């Protein structure tokens, strides 16, 4: 058993809890810099979250509870969605919060985010953003921030995948509206969905089970709030 791997991943989750989810003054720069943690846990070839889960004695991969836009992707409304994000459960209000702007008055096919219990691979490929009718996967959000705009690496804007670049830089608009008009908690929707991924990791029941097992294996209680 690789106890060091279990420790590293538990400490990464501790980082997400303390520096993101329960931070008093979380800034977009904190999310950008910390995007490398999500890349390490969910995207890189080793996918350390799943690897550590199995090292701790569990089967397959943990499941993460998160909102997705799967219903919107299958809806007739999709071509008319200017921008939408899956959003999160807001601890302060007790309500789910997300944003959607459409360019049609026909609401007969209106859709809403759906809560799903997802294994890691399905979590990564689930749609959390829609930009000008095109769905964007969670993995692509992580890779965009970590690999393209300075989380871990920096790429020249011309090399960045177009739908994410246009969403992030407000290059497209609907009438007088731009993406800046749908900022949530003063964060861009792309950063908001990155934060949501950290929240899903920290708050999902399977991750709490992993942390409990890690504390037993390491014989060191982990000081992480998860509820």
Average confidence score pLDDT of the chain: 81
Q: Where are the domains of the chain?
A: 3-218
What global pTM score does this model have? 0.82
For 155-210, how does the pLDDT look when each residue is reduced to its tens digit (9 = 90+)? 655 554 665 666 655 544 444 555 555 555 567 778 888 999 999 999 999 999 99
Fill in the DSSP letter of residue 23: -
Q: How confident is the model at residue 97 (pLDDT cuts 50, 70, 90)?
A: low
pLDDT above 60 (res 100): yes
Mean pLDDT of 92-98: 56
- What is residue 176's predicted lDDT score, i.e. its pLDDT? 53
Q: Taken in order 15, 16, 22, 26, is the CA torsion positive or negative? A: positive
Give whole-number Cα distances, 105 to 49, 59, 81, 109, 212, in Å.
Answer: 43, 48, 11, 11, 50
Tokens of 30: 């904190």
Compute the average pLDDT of residues 14-19.
Answer: 93
pLDDT at 50 over 90: yes
Q: How much of the chain, in percent, has pLDDT values that exceed 90?
A: 41
Residue 187 makes CB contacts below 8 A (sequence gap 6+) with 28, 31, 195
Q: Which has the higher per-residue pLDDT, 93 or 76?
A: 76
How confident is the model at residue 172, as a pLDDT?
42
Of all residues in the chain, the percent with pLDDT exceeding 70 is 74
């Amino acid at each position: 058993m690789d106890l060091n791997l279990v420790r590293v991943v538990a400490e990464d989750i501790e980082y997400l809890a303390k520096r993101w989810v329960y931070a008093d003054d979380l800034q977009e720069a904190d999310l950008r810099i910390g995007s490398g943690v999500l890349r390490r846990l969910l995207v890189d070839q080793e996918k350390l979250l799943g690897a550590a889960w199995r090292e701790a004695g569990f089967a397959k991969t943990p499941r993460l509870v998160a909102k997705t836009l799967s219903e919107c992707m299958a809806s007739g409304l999709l071509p008319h969605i200017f921008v939408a994000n899956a959003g999160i459960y807001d601890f302060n209000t007790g309500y789910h919060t997300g944003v959607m702007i459409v360019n049609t008055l026909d609401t007969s096919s209106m859709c809403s985010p759906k809560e799903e219990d997802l294994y890691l691979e399905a979590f990564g490929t689930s749609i959390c953003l829609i930009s000008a009718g095109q769905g964007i996967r969670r993995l692509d959000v992580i890779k965009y921030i970590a690999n393209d705009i300075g989380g871990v690496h920096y790429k020249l804007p011309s090399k960045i995948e177009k739908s994410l670049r246009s969403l992030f830089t407000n290059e497209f608009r609907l009438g007088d509206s731009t993406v800046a008009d749908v900022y949530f908690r003063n964060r861009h929707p792309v950063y908001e969905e990155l934060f949501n991924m950290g929240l899903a990791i920290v708050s999902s029941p399977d991750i709490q089970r992993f942390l409990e097992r890690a504390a037993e294996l390491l014989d060191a209680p982990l000081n992480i709030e998860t509820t």
